[in-house]
Structure 1
Amino acid sequence: MEVRAIYNFACINCGGEITDSRLLELGICSKCLEIVERDVIKAAEILKASGKLKKLKEVLDLHLIYQDFRSFFKAALGFEPWALQEIWAKRILSGDNFAIVAPTGIGKTVLGLIMALYLFSKGKRCYVIVPSSILAQQLYEKALSFAERAGIKRLLKNIVTYHAGLSKGEKEETLKKIEKRRKILLITTDRFLVDHGELLRGKFFDYVFVDDVDSFLRSPKNIDRAVGLLGLRPEAVDAALKLIELRMRLAKTSAKELLEEYRKLELKVEEEKRRRKGILVVSGATLRGKKTRRLMIFEELLDFEVGRFQEFVRNIEDMYVEVEEKHLIDEAIEIVKRHGGGCLVFTPHALGRTYAAKVAEALERAGLKVHLYEKMESDILQRFSEGEIDIMVGIAASRSPLTRGIDLPARIRYALFVGVPRREIHIDRDEYNPMKLLVLINNIIPALDRKTRSEAEVVIARLMKITPLSKDLIEKVKQACERGETLEGFEKYAQEVITKAKEFLQKILTPDFIEKIGSELDITLRPVEDGFSLIIPDTTGYIQASGRTSRLYPYGVAKGASIILVDDKKAFRGLLTRLKAQLEEIEFEPYDPENAKLVFRQIDDERKIIRELLSGKIELKAKDIIRAALMLVESPTKARTIAYLFGRPFRRRVGNLTVYEATIGGVIVGVTATQGHLTDLVTGRGIHGIEKLDGRFVPVYGVIKRCLNCGEQWANGGKCPSCGSDEVFDKSEIIEAVRKLALQYNDVYIATDPDAEGEKIA
């Protein structure tokens, strides 16, 4: 094949010279591999046998360890990982810290647990952190079952769980095991870090998986504890926070002394990062929390941040029945008797625990096998799975363990909401909690006139700057206001913001305006003795609770059903409107018993397949419902803009690249930039980098380097040809980072500009 160009740096194995034709075929130069081999793994094996394996060793090693993990995964579950789980697994096996932010039912927790078991079987210390006792017990039972099926029964005694459902004796015995055992797979709730964090001090883990990052981040100090589990010192957290503070100050002023301090601190943070012994993976369906400075520690010390994805995998038949309030429970009994067990019954948060207990009692009196979930019992999931319990009753709230802490795809068939999901927030007449003030103003703003709305937007912007605020500081502000004192520094600012927000609400919350809210908005604001009761349609609670019925399995997304018994038409209309804003394709149909029979027939057929899969009776090739793709553009600004078109992405750093990950349809896309040109003609070869070869003029390209001292650019040699500095940014680092990234995605899209530069980069 004719040579049209030579790249003096681009062989993917030795980093040496390669022709354009060899680069297009596989990327290995003729010095490394004389024959043309189109399979990179086969090529790596040939190179290894001949003693020429260099940079491709990383690719071969990742391939081999992933194949081993895939076999382990299949032995444990009965089927292979699907495309997205493969991507996550490769990132973990590559040693990357990152966030899995994807919808419920997509297989995040299963992947995290199986990976913990796999690494544990290789002698690694692993820790799985979950939001609730019910999920801790469930994962513990799954871990024991998976371990036995994967052939590591000998290690069962070192798989340990600690949660509130254990007896006092079991807790004491477990704490002793945690303290003494060096090799361990630990499964606890995030509360364990608060109550027994000292027990883990100095006991580092090779792999930490946090399930439900929303719950985990409710305590900002958990971020410090998480990085500590990886071997990072408290000094690293302090240095990272100072670095973040300095960066914010430098954005406002370019004082020389600040810049020098920043550079010194940057080196200190890099030094501290080298102490890290393990990797952290956090998982969740969304991140609703504000991006605080403490949350930025993840980005500073572990090179990733958490972002937000929309729910996009859902296979649920959403139905509703309008029922008079006095017949609500009778209708629930009739529906459960008609469709049978495997049912989660949810009551509105606004009606409290007493109402949930009332519903459970009525179902039990009707002869149904019911359990009201109030606190964790170690055998409750087993009893539900085996049919001893047919119905679990709990509250439809995003923090409820039953809503987000149970994953039994073979057992759970449908969710029944006895009342429209809605949450109640009590707001004192003399409220000082800025989060509650913010929620109230955000929900009433549509009813304000234009002028007052502008005032509200200013108040909202200021409240957002101080939330979340600790309970201690809220109390301090309250006491200062009551005594007529003025605080100092940030506390003074928080005091002013809260005072202004309170004054604004006192001005607008007249009886007439409260009546207007009731007639125009989908919320209810009801005056009570000591303040207000704000009732809001709970979309998050509904999505999380109904999502328990639809999970991803090898054949696709399992069918589930959700039925709402409508006791409040206004709240239901509000719920539909808000759900449409999040899930465009969601449609509610009136509940019809005959149509429901057809839906449940499909549900039961799929549950049978899932049970047979879990028991190993059948095998199915996994369907790739969701894939991950890497998109390469030229400009970092363009990468960020494209990612933000599809919601708020999360960022992670790979080498010198920032990758923005967002969802586009059924694809998770990582968008990153080459940062402009990667190559240029070299000097010192031919005439200005053009050689004559076999009667043709052939350009010779080198990778671009840029002097950090004077800004000079060149394409060959080490030091700057202009000023002699060796402080150089070499774009080969970009190329290596892109190659590493390509291993972590199912597909790669080159989206450079349609011009000469774009073609050259491609």
Structure 2
Amino acid sequence: MRLIYKSLCPGDYNDIDSINLERGMLCEDCENKRIKLNQSTYQLEPKIKDFFSEKSLYYESWFIEENKKEFEELCNKIIGKPYSAQINWFIKSILGESFAITVPTGLGKTTFGILYILYLFYRKYKTNKGLDKEIRHCFFIVPTKLLVQQIYERFCEYSEKLDLNLSMIHSNEKDKKKLKKKLSSREFEIAIFTPNFLLKNKDLLFSNQLLGVADVIFVDDVDALLKRSKSIDIILYLLGFDHQILTNVKQVIRRPVKDVVAEEKRRLIEYINEYKSKNKIGQLIFSSATTRVFTSRIRLLRYLLNFEPGSSLELFRKVFDVKIKSKKIIPETIKLVKKLGGGGLIFIPIDKGKNFLKKLYEKLKENNVKCEIVESSRSYLKVIDKFKNGEIDVLLGFAIFYGPLVRGIDLPAIIRYAIFVGVPKFKLKAGEEEIKYNPLRILWLSSLILPILEDQSSRAEIINIANKIRKIIQNYTPEELKVLINTRKIASFYPLQEYLNKLYEILNRYLLNESFVKKLEERAHISIINKKGSRYFIFADSLTYIQASGRTSRMYFGGITTGLSILLVDNEKVFEGLAYQIQRRYEDFNWIDKEEFENRFEEIIKIINFERQAIKERKLTFGEGEIKKIKNALLIVESPTKAKTISYFFGKPAIRLVNGIPVYECVTDEYILNIVPTLGHIFDLVYTYDEHNGIYYGVKKDNGEFVPIYATIKKCRNCGYSFTESKEFEEVSDKKVLKCPKCGSTSIFDSINVVEAIRKLAIEADEIIIATDPDSEGEKIAYDVYLMVKPLVSKNKSIKRMELHEITFKAFREGIKNLKEINTNRVYAQILRRIGDRWVGFSISSILQKKLGKKTLGAGRVQTPVLNWIITRYEQYIEEKHRNLFIKTNKNITLRIIGINKEWDKKFINKVKKKIRKTKFIKIKKIKVKEEIIYPPRPLNTSDMLIKATNKFKITVEQVMKIAQDLFEAGLITYHRTDSHYISDLGFKIAQQYLEQKGLRHLFEKHSYDTRGAHECIRPTRALDRDELENLISTGQLNLPIQLTQLHYKLYDLIFQTFIASQMRSTKVIKKELEFEELKISKNIKLKIESFEGIIDYDKESFAMIIPIQINEKLVPLNEGDTLEVVNIRLITLRPKLFTEDEIVAEMKKENIGRPSTYATIINKLKEHGYVVSSKKKKSLIPTELANQVMGIINKKFEWLSSVELTRKFEEAMDDIEKGKVNEKGVMEKISEFFNEYYVKIKSSELNMLRRL
């Protein structure tokens, strides 16, 4: 199927068809230019400029390839073939981008910095080509004097190999006067300094003559520079930002992010861009294995240079976690160390004390184990070199979160295993005030107390305060928090200390309550010790365990090392707490027992030793195995939220802005991953209607073939209106600027920015992975992206599709192993649906607009029958009335009288009411008691979710879908646009795990619904109920990229409870039905009373433990012969119920029109057009007078459009295409058949109608 994309050729920005794009070609004109270029005998660079603009992406891709070849040649002369990562950094660098490199040790970051700077001078002096900017002065910043010397020597060595004679200065030079003179007069080409030198000479560096001196600044080890914020100011000044702009930007970034409104931010960016256009700004490259220091100056980098550095995460680990129960833990430790050899860390729980640590140290020494104790950073620095050189086998230290062995030690080639001589834990003395100064501990304590609390008001108060504390401390790094806690400076921080004091008071009240402490001991996996009149609480410390064991599994040039962690269990109850905490937070965490460890010992040690040997020898292949090089991959998703969620699996991502689009960079064990959002659909059909050229609302009829024409989507920032074409422009600074067709604003976001950003990133990448949503809409976006990048990437570059049905770490890992091709059936189905909607909608809409004189009118393929239902139901509501008498009794049971005659007038009705009042009592004639089985509910699909949520929470279907989208993208639920009730094996596991945690394993029953299809039901991705989720988020143990509201929690709770209940036992209920004696009104008139039924009991050992069943307590004591006293009688006129949004969704599902992804959109469109309004109280859908006018025209002239059958058949045909039920030839036949049928039908309808207007 051929498509045309307007202005998408990367060579000249003219129109291009999908066939050329799919073949990796340019448009016809550009292909002819390429042929001429290939035939040219002249030097290629001047010639290519004759054919292609330097601003075109094709020229840029050619420029990159040429420079890349030359860089590889230069590397081969000096160090050999560069790594894939180094090529990626070079591409970013050669385009002049400022960016951060945050990758593991061993990938050649420092070497790259030297080679890149030398390349710039080599190109200037040796090739006579130069670059866009003439290179003059480069700076190389390293943390220590020793490194200054080493870098200087490497520059000299490499320059000699290239026959370059460069003028270099460095901060180790003895003649400081001469050094400063050269610096101030710019008599140098390369300067190598430490951050300390920059600070000591800030007055010189801030002088006018050095403003903008730097063409390139390469910072090796960012942390050393970031420790003093003034260092960043110096760097930015050298790059070309003067004091005035730095002051202006700082005034904005010092304010809380929430206080900076979008318009103010936009004006600031415009101001910065204007400054950069008028002044020369150099390039900044940050390099670090892990960035640990984050100050407000980091935000300066984002505003001024469009990037900010990131950091890796300790959760990303490959560790064999072994648990061994042992009563003799010192002999067991010695035995393990002797067996495992060198490269070990031994962690002692803090409760065992210094005497135990010393005793273990002496016992290891007695057994000829070379070991040292590390208790502080100073002792760490002294022994670390010996440990690296093999002079020490193992290091010993306490298992505390900020301990020097727990944090900061990063030796992937050396550290092989860790042994925990007891479960990591922390001890809290009841009433101890020390915890008031430690926000991490007080949040941790809150997380243990919250699940036990039954008082909902106290629970809500704790969560509220904990959330406030969490939000404040998120602005500090672990290192900064450590200092604040140790020095108690946190006591002076307002309002943080106020929150800590308040939370401490609440928690301490519970810890001093005997009955609560008993519950805590029973249910929270803690030990309580009473010693010398004081009470101590012993808690498992899973954060320290994960952090410390993570020292054995570190990033390096081949991915991530495999580690071994052995936990000697000294307290079974506290270990249960540790296991529970870890299981709640980390997916697929498994303990290996002693027997399995011994059976697999040789296998585990072989893997560990192989990797360390490979690192030491700096080989990518070694022995029988192979260690992969880390590759650069571009991952494309729809939204920034999804991009953040995925990037946060691997730490705090580095962020850079490309064409204003955020790109999140992180490092996995296989990839340096750049994640970019498309911000939704990028292209849509154009609006063009040009009968002369055979274009009918964006579809061209060309030699009997229908060809859709696409253009980038433009969105007005002012009113939110989206469009693809506009004839309205405004002159702004001698430029024609597009205007919004709706409100006239010139503040327009054009998706061409997304196109350019993704294309640039694709040129940098080794692989391209498209992970848009797993449905036809996501597939169309994926196809568009595929076509966008194909002409700009080499033929051997992989472009693959990844499907994520849930945004979790495990799903991501699975997805990356099972990449696939784009499903063109889904793409065709989406295109056909869109054209069907467009042809029907635009053709009828144009007639309605002309007939009724309103530009906002429209009628869609699915909207029209839905509107018809709403109008029909409203007419029934007006016309049909049913009178009913209701009797309220003393038992608070309301009964309905059957048999009211329509002919009875008001006078006679009053007579009936009077007669019943006189009767006073209603006698129970008969009681039936019966048993019934109620089966558990099915898990939700989209329509179920919309129906239940809108009904329960009284919100719109649009709100429900928006909240569900947030929950999906935050990784909390599976994909929310699904018509399936299918449950995967992982889903069953989650249900079973949750019920086990709650002591309800006996109620688990595996229930399957539907066969496996494209999607699963909507279910939670973890075994966390609402309370647990809220606990983890408020106490900082689970970080999400979005802020959850109460509606988020409510919808999550509905999804979670329904899913868990679906995997539980059925329940048996007992129902009681009351039958009543007739009411005698007169000799000839007797009135029946409707029987009354309700549940009086049920089996609680069932799914009713999760979703309680309502018991009608009023029925329980009633027996046959009992009487109910009449309290009141009311005559109520009942009408047919108006549709609510949930009922419309149910009707669409029943009639099989619309799709899960469009239910909300259809209802919202009817509201936007002004056809439907919602009643305030019941949220009923009421048609407007305009709706009646529109449907009057449609029913009179386009009756076929309001037919459900037409829409249903169309949807079925599209589903057949999407599900691959039709072969390729059949697909094309259906497409042709559909186009011709609709084209003729709409065309004739429109012409006939227009003739009458």
Is 1:369 the counterpart of 2:366? The answer is: no
Pick aligned residue for 2:219 from 208, 213, 228: 208
Give the C-alpha shift of residue 355 in structure 1. 5.8
Give the C-alpha shift of residue 206 in structure 1. 1.4
Is 1:654 the counterpart of 2:673? The answer is: no
Counterparts in 2 of 1:101-500, with a 5 A limit? 107=104, 110-119=107-116, 121-122=118-119, 124-127=138-141, 183-184=190-191, 202=206, 206-210=217-221, 232=241, 236=245, 238-240=247-249, 242-243=251-252, 245=255, 248-249=258-259, 264-271=267-274, 277-281=282-286, 296-297=299-300, 299-304=302-307, 314-324=317-327, 327-348=328-349, 359-373=360-374, 374=376, 375=378, 382-422=385-425, 428=433, 431=436, 437-451=442-456, 452-467=458-473, 491=494, 493-494=495-496, 496-500=498-502
User: Could you tell me how far apart the structure 2 residues matched to 1:444 and 1:175 are?
Assistant: 61
Is 1:754 the counterpart of 2:776? The answer is: yes
Pick aligned residue for 2:756 from 694, 716, 736: 736
Residues 706 and 714 (structure 1), Cα distance of their counterparts in 2 relative to 1, 3 Å cut? farther
User: Could you tell me how far apart the structure 2 residues matched to 1:312 and 1:466 are?
Assistant: 22
User: Could you tell me how far apart the structure 2 residues matched to 1:352 and 1:216 are?
Assistant: 37
Give the C-alpha shift of residue 184 in structure 1. 5.0
Give the C-alpha shift of residue 385 in structure 1. 3.8
Pick aligned residue for 1:60 from 52, 57, 62: 62
Residue 573 of structure 1 corresponds to which residue in structure 2?
Answer: 576
- Note if contact 2:694-2:702 (Cα within 8 Å) is conserved in structure 1: no
Which amino acid is the alignment partner of residue 455 of structure 1? Answer: E
- Note if contact 1:397-1:541 (Cα within 8 Å) is conserved in structure 2: yes
> Residue by residue, what CA displacement relative to the aligned partner does 1:602-624 show, whole Å, maximum 9, x if unpaired?
43344444444459999997526
Give the C-alpha shift of residue 156 in structure 1. 14
- Note if contact 2:715-2:748 (Cα within 8 Å) is conserved in structure 1: yes
- % same residue: 26
- Note if contact 1:10-1:23 (Cα within 8 Å) is conserved in structure 2: no
Give the C-alpha shift of residue 670 in structure 1. 1.9
Bigger shift: 422-431 or 110-119? 422-431
Residue 26 of structure 2 corresponds to which residue in structure 1?
Answer: 28
3-state SS of the aligned residue for 1:547?
helix
User: Could you tell me how far apart the structure 1 residues matched to 2:152 and 2:167 are?
Assistant: 9
Which amino acid is the alignment partner of residue 776 of structure 2? Answer: P
Which amino acid is the alignment partner of residue 115 of structure 1? Answer: F
> Residue by residue, what CA displacement relative to the aligned partner does 1:329-380 show, whole Å, maximum 9, x if unpaired?
4433332223222323333456677765554444334333234444268785
User: Could you tell me how far apart the structure 1 residues matched to 2:397 and 2:78 are?
Assistant: 31
Residues 332 and 398 (structure 1), Cα distance of their counterparts in 2 relative to 1, 3 Å cut? same
User: Could you tell me how far apart the structure 1 residues matched to 2:413 and 2:435 are?
Assistant: 49
Which amino acid is the alignment partner of residue 282 of structure 2? Answer: K
- Note if contact 2:101-2:285 (Cα within 8 Å) is conserved in structure 1: no
Give the C-alpha shift of residue 728 in structure 1. 5.6
User: Could you tell me how far apart the structure 1 residues matched to 2:27 and 2:59 are?
Assistant: 16
Give the C-alpha shift of residue 739 in structure 1. 0.8
- Note if contact 1:704-1:713 (Cα within 8 Å) is conserved in structure 2: yes
Is 1:589 the counterpart of 2:592? The answer is: yes
Residues 388 and 157 (structure 1), Cα distance of their counterparts in 2 relative to 1, 3 Å cut? farther
User: Could you tell me how far apart the structure 2 residues matched to 1:370 and 1:417 are?
Assistant: 15
Residues 285 and 385 (structure 1), Cα distance of their counterparts in 2 relative to 1, 3 Å cut? closer
- Note if contact 2:292-2:311 (Cα within 8 Å) is conserved in structure 1: yes
Which amino acid is the alignment partner of residue 505 of structure 2? Answer: E
Which amino acid is the alignment partner of residue 9 of structure 1? Answer: S
Give the C-alpha shift of residue 696 in structure 1. 7.2
TM-score, with normalisation over the residues of structure 1? Answer: 0.71
Give the C-alpha shift of residue 460 in structure 1. 1.3
Which amino acid is the alignment partner of residue 466 of structure 2? Answer: I
TM-score, with normalisation over the residues of structure 2? Answer: 0.46
Residue 512 of structure 2 corresponds to which residue in structure 1?
Answer: 510
Instruction: Please tell me whether Structure 1 or Structure 2 has the larger radius of gyration of its CA atoms.
Output: 2
Is 1:714 the counterpart of 2:725? The answer is: yes
Residues 608 and 632 (structure 1), Cα distance of their counterparts in 2 relative to 1, 3 Å cut? closer
Which amino acid is the alignment partner of residue 110 of structure 2? Answer: L
How many correspondences in the alignment?
A: 706
Residue 628 of structure 2 corresponds to which residue in structure 1?
Answer: 623
User: Could you tell me how far apart the structure 2 residues matched to 1:29 and 1:548 are?
Assistant: 53
- Note if contact 2:659-2:753 (Cα within 8 Å) is conserved in structure 1: yes
Which amino acid is the alignment partner of residue 126 of structure 1? Answer: F
Residues 417 and 656 (structure 1), Cα distance of their counterparts in 2 relative to 1, 3 Å cut? same
User: Could you tell me how far apart the structure 2 residues matched to 1:570 and 1:218 are?
Assistant: 42
User: Could you tell me how far apart the structure 2 residues matched to 1:433 and 1:16 are?
Assistant: 62
- Note if contact 1:80-1:621 (Cα within 8 Å) is conserved in structure 2: no
Residue 15 of structure 1 corresponds to which residue in structure 2?
Answer: 13
CA RMSD in angstroms comes to 5.8
Give the C-alpha shift of residue 539 in structure 1. 3.7
Which amino acid is the alignment partner of residue 104 of structure 2? Answer: G
Which amino acid is the alignment partner of residue 21 of structure 1? Answer: I
Bigger shift: 565-574 or 120-129? 120-129
Residue 609 of structure 2 corresponds to which residue in structure 1?
Answer: 604
Give the C-alpha shift of residue 740 in structure 1. 1.1
Give the C-alpha shift of residue 655 in structure 1. 0.9
3-state SS of the aligned residue for 1:387?
coil
- Note if contact 2:169-2:179 (Cα within 8 Å) is conserved in structure 1: no
Give the C-alpha shift of residue 311 in structure 1. 6.0
Relative contact order: is structure 1 or structure 2 higher (C-alpha 8 Å, sep ≥ 6)?
1
Residues 150 and 349 (structure 1), Cα distance of their counterparts in 2 relative to 1, 3 Å cut? farther
3-state SS of the aligned residue for 2:32?
coil
> Residue by residue, what CA displacement relative to the aligned partner does 1:409-429 show, whole Å, maximum 9, x if unpaired?
443332233333345689626
User: Could you tell me how far apart the structure 2 residues matched to 1:331 and 1:521 are?
Assistant: 29
Which amino acid is the alignment partner of residue 415 of structure 2? Answer: I
Give the C-alpha shift of residue 576 in structure 1. 2.7
- Note if contact 1:79-1:554 (Cα within 8 Å) is conserved in structure 2: no
User: Could you tell me how far apart the structure 1 residues matched to 2:543 and 2:497 are?
Assistant: 31
> Residue by residue, what CA displacement relative to the aligned partner does 1:188-222 show, whole Å, maximum 9, x if unpaired?
8xxx69996959965966133556x7x99898888
User: Could you tell me how far apart the structure 2 residues matched to 1:369 and 1:659 are?
Assistant: 47
Give the C-alpha shift of residue 514 in structure 1. 4.7
- Note if contact 1:372-1:394 (Cα within 8 Å) is conserved in structure 2: yes
3-state SS of the aligned residue for 2:567?
strand
Residues 466 and 376 (structure 1), Cα distance of their counterparts in 2 relative to 1, 3 Å cut? same
Give the C-alpha shift of residue 176 in structure 1. 10
3-state SS of the aligned residue for 2:436?
coil
- Note if contact 2:558-2:620 (Cα within 8 Å) is conserved in structure 1: no
3-state SS of the aligned residue for 2:369?
coil
3-state SS of the aligned residue for 1:206?
strand
Any unmatched runs of 5+ in structure 1?
162-169, 480-489
> Residue by residue, what CA displacement relative to the aligned partner does 1:678-718 show, whole Å, maximum 9, x if unpaired?
46649799947848978978777665666778978636784
- Note if contact 2:685-2:710 (Cα within 8 Å) is conserved in structure 1: yes
- Note if contact 2:107-2:556 (Cα within 8 Å) is conserved in structure 1: no
